[in-house]
Structure 1
Amino acid sequence: MALKRIDVHTDDSDLALIKEAATRVGVSEAELIREGIHRIARVHRACDGPFVTDEETFDLGGHAT
């Protein structure tokens, strides 16, 4: 995956939390920021269709009410 350089502005308290977390888990601050961007992008991505199609489901024997 090719990485693009961007500028991100944040306040000092958030940056301090990122620095602390990066040290605690043993990764770079940039890696934590990339992970956060990836998680947010996945949560907010558009979905064009249903989660599953009728062909992907099967009857578990339950009774419809």
Structure 2
Amino acid sequence: MALKKTTVMVDEADLALVKLAAAREGRPESEYFREAFHLAAVRTRRWDDAWDIPVLDYGHAVTAEEIDSVVRDGIADSGSDAG
């Protein structure tokens, strides 16, 4: 990964918190800023293609009771596998 130097103005209170965390965890302050910058960059991503997310059709609206029943059955089944 090639790094590029830049200057950023930050809130003094935020900078103080980063300095404390860096000292406490023994990490360079720059790691915190690179991580924050990466999260900001990822947050701006957009995809042109539609996502192919399958739709499950049960032929009727699924009720809360049906969901509870399936979850209970799944928990019971996983409990019987332990041992």
Same fold (TM over 0.5): yes
TM-score (norm 1): 0.72
- Structure number with greater CO (CA < 8 Å, separation at least 6) is 1
Gaps of 5+ in 1: none
SS of structure 2 residue aligned to 1:27: coil
**Which one has the largest radius of gyration?**
2
Superposed CA deviations along residues 6-64 of structure 1, whole A, max 9, x for unmatched, are: 0011121111011011122221100100000001111121221234x26xx5x87x614
Identical-residue share of aligned pairs (%): 40
How many residues matched?
Answer: 60
Matched, 1:26 2:26: yes
Greater share of helix residues, 1 or 2?
2
TM-score (norm 2): 0.59
Gaps of 5+ in 2: 61-83
